[in-house]
Amino acid sequence: MIIGVDVGGTLIRAARFDEHLEMRQRVEQPTNAHQGEKAVLGYLYETIRQVLPSESPGDLEGIGLALPGPLDLDAGVLIAPPNLPFKNTPICQLVEDQVARPVYLVNDADAAGLAEHRLGAGVGMRSLIYLTISTGIGGGLILDGRLYTGRGQGGEIGHMVVDPDGPLCNCGRPGHLEALASGTAIARTARARVEAGEETLIADLVDGDFDQITARTVGQAAGEGDRLALSVINDAGRYIGMAIASLMMVLNPDIVVLGGGVSRMGSLLLDPVQQAVRQYAMHPRYWENTPIVTARLGKDVGLYGAAVMVQQRIGEAGS
């Protein structure tokens, strides 16, 4: 048996899986990040305890923790994840002290990529590029069937430079994909244009309270044919497509999978992505037989990915 855990800014989720990665039990509770590190660790232990196999604890092979980066995979340390009260927290050691079983750490976007490769849209594919587009943009690279992280911090697709003169990213550097195409960026761009007085349905959708504009509002307006909303999503899609075109030329993957809340806009986002890929890739060979699809696994993708990672790590240790 394996336990997968996904710790996000809003929810802590945990599930127990059997050796075929069938989910046997699943629980969740609020993270309550504002209560600080000690409280959140307490909630984490409690959530894990709820899915521990009570009758035969020795059957538990390991626990996988999916958390946002930056993190030190080898040391099992959370460096400074945004939206969570951790700083240089030796999370693997702390959880191991509680459960006395091996604990492994994985970046949450990497976990999602692993899960989509093993159980979702990329089953049977050799190489897969995963992007999660929500508040920020995360990436996961599965190359030749293996998660690729370089020296542990690789796969940061959200921080690829797509406009050298672009706005500052959350990380402090200019022109990164996340600063131009994340849900936050889509909302910010739309708000600026609405405030500048452009005619749009978005103003009605938020009853004139422009602070309420989110990527979801923009998606909704775009779905009704609103020109401003469509143009904002087009621009975001174009930047995502530029990044994907570059990744396709460097890595030549079998499939590209887009997850996260913003990807649920479907063709509204995928069409401009495809268009940009065709515009920027060196040769049709790079995209002709390389589908760009939306993720298949839902909100539990991080749990599945954490479990897949544990299975792989145990397999490696055994071979």
Minimum separation from the CB atom of position 178 to Zn ion (A): 5
User: Residue 278: CB partners within 8 Å, gap ≥ 6?
Assistant: 284, 287
Q: Report the C-alpha dihedral over residues 92, 170, 236, 230, rounded to 10 degrees.
A: 110
Q: Which residues pair with 161 in a beta bridge?
A: 176
Shortest Cβ 169–Zn ion spacing (Å) = 3
Q: Using the minimum distance from each CB to Zn ion, give the nearer residue, 116 or 156.
A: 156
DSSP state letter for 112: H
Least Å distance between CB 173 and Zn ion? 5
Look up residue 2 and give its two tokens: 């394996």
Task: For Zn ion, give the closer residue by CB, 16 or 176.
Answer: 176
**Separation of alpha carbons 43 and 139, rounded Å:** 27
> Minimum distance from CB of 172 to Zn ion (Å)?
7
Residues forming contacts to Zn ion in the complex (CB under 5 A) are 159, 169, 171, 176
Nearer to Zn ion (CB atom), residue 98 or residue 246: 246
State which residue has the least CB distance to Zn ion: 169
Smallest gap from Cβ 140 to Zn ion, in A, equals 17
Nearer to Zn ion, 53 or 154 (CB): 154
Between vectors from CA 85 to CA 158 and to CA 109, what angle results, nearest 5°? 30
**Beta-sheet pairing, 103-107 with 146-148:** unpaired
The CB-of-19 to Zn ion minimum distance in angstroms stands at 39
Q: Give the nearer residue to Zn ion in terms of CB position, either 13 or 176.
A: 176
Give dist(CA 136, CA 134) in Å, integer: 5
The beta strands (E) that lie in 108-252 are given as 128-133, 137-143, 146-148
Taking the C-alpha atoms of residue 309 and residue 2, their distance in angstroms, rounded to an integer, is 10
Q: Which is nearer to Zn ion, 52 or 171 (CB)?
A: 171
Residue nearer to Zn ion on the CB measure, 39 or 171: 171
Q: Report in angstroms how near the CB of residue 53 gets to Zn ion at its nearest.
A: 41
Torsional sign, CA 308, 311, 317, 319: negative
Q: Kindly list the distances between the CA atom of residue 25 and the CA atoms of 11, 95, 96, in Å, as whole numbers in the listed order.
A: 17, 19, 21
C-alpha span between 295 and 275 (Å, rounded): 20
Q: How far apart are CA 269 and CA 58, in angstroms?
A: 47
Nearer to Zn ion, 173 or 285 (CB): 173
Find the helix or strand (DSSP H, E) in which 27 lies.
strand 23-30
Region class of 318: left (phi > 0), else alpha (psi between -120 and 50), else beta? alpha
Query: Shortest gap between Cβ of 221 and Zn ion (angstroms)?
Result: 27
